[in-house]
Each structure stands twice: as structure tokens, then as C-alpha cells.
């Protein structure tokens, strides 16, 4: 007899959702900023342990928006176009995901009938803190460990 595990027992949830694509874009830029050689999608995907296809699309978006410069062929790859100390994490996050919603409690409702927010206003406050963090952290602040790029 097959034992059915109730969904809620193995389901896990997160209260905070960080866009994977945006996070990948930021990691890639920081990696390229730290590197002394041109990196291509394949190399970056190996260092970050992510799918090369997925990464390539994100790098295209960054190149299209003038954050990266690319050249093809052997020895080709990406270098930074905008300087690392002139780009914030927020710039990239919002490039990929659009503006961060700061004024909702998390659900698309226009009016809330409760006199006091049952969440104590925390979702708004925490979101604003996150946006501040992203806005105050530049790509040049993100340091990598010693990596052999060749």
C-alpha cells in the first residue's frame, strides 16, 4: 500500500523571495569585475555552478543594457562596461525584475479592511530595508575568494 505523505509535511516555504535571475546577474557582474581575464558564459557558469543556458540569457540582458561589453570567438567573453563602483546591486536587481514593490503587505489587494495590520507593518519595513541594502552596496564591494580564472 502506497503511503501518502500529506503535502504540508514535506512542503517548505519562504517568507522572503529573492529573484534567482537578479541574484545571478549580480553575482556574474561581481565575478567579471574581480577577474583579470575576459570571462565567457561557460567559465562563469562553471564557477557559479549554474546552467550555462540560463546564464547566457542573463549576460545578454546585461550586455544589451551597457553593463557588459562582449566579444565573440576564442579568447572572447565579457568585461565590464560601466565601472564597478558606479553600479549598485539595486540597479541590477531592478533591471532584471522591475521596480521593487514597497507599499503593499504582500498581496494584491487595494484596500485592507483591518484596522491594524496583522503583520504589524513588517512586510513594508523589511522590504524597505532590503532595498536600502541593495542601494548601498556597489558591485565593487562584492569580493571573491582567490579564483584561478584561466
Partner 1 sequence: MAKIVSYSEAASIGMHGMVLVARAGETINVQKIAEITGSSRHHVAKVMQRLVKEGFLSSNRGPSGGFKLNIEPGGITLLQIYEAIEGHVKVLSCPHEKQVCPFEKCILGTVVTKMTQTFRDHLSTQTLADMME
Binding mask 32-51 for partner 1 (x = CB under 8 A): ---------------xxxx-
All 3 cell numbers of residue 145? Answer: 575568494
Binding mask 82-111 for partner 1 (x = CB under 8 A): -------x---xx--xxxxx--x-xx-x-x
The piece of 52-60, 67-75, 78-86, 138-146 that touches partner 1 (CB under 8 A) is 138-146
User: With binding defined as CB under 8 A, does residue 148 bind partner 1?
Assistant: no
Give the largest CA-CA distance in the chain.
Answer: 63
Contacts of 62 (CB under 8 A, 6+ apart): 25, 28, 29, 68, 78, 92, 95
User: With binding defined as CB under 8 A, does residue 13 bind partner 1?
Assistant: yes
Which class for 19: exposed (0-12), middle (13-18), buried (19 or more C-beta within 10 A)?
middle
Count of chain residues binding partner 1 (CB under 8 A)? 58
Alpha carbon distance, N-terminus to C-terminus of the chain: 55
Shortest gap between Cβ of 95 and partner 1 (angstroms)? 11
Amino acid at each position: 500500500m502506497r503511503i501518502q505523505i500529506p503535502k504540508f509535511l514535506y512542503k517548505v516555504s519562504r517568507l522572503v523571495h529573492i529573484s534567482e535571475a537578479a541574484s545571478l546577474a549580480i553575482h556574474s557582474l561581481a565575478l567579471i569585475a574581480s577577474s583579470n581575464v575576459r570571462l565567457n558564459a561557460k567559465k562563469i557558469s562553471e564557477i557559479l555552478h549554474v546552467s550555462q543556458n540560463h546564464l547566457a540569457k542573463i549576460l545578454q540582458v546585461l550586455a544589451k543594457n551597457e553593463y557588459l561589453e562582449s566579444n565573440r570567438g576564442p579568447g572572447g567573453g565579457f568585461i565590464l562596461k560601466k565601472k564597478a563602483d558606479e553600479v549598485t546591486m539595486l540597479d541590477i536587481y531592478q533591471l532584471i525584475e522591475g521596480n521593487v514593490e514597497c507599499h503593499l503587505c504582500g498581496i494584491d489587494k487595494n484596500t485592507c479592511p483591518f484596522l491594524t495590520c496583522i503583520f504589524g507593518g513588517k512586510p513594508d519595513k523589511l522590504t524597505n530595508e532590503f532595498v536600502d541594502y541593495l542601494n548601498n552596496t556597489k558591485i565593487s564591494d562584492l569580493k571573491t575568494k582567490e579564483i584561478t580564472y584561466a
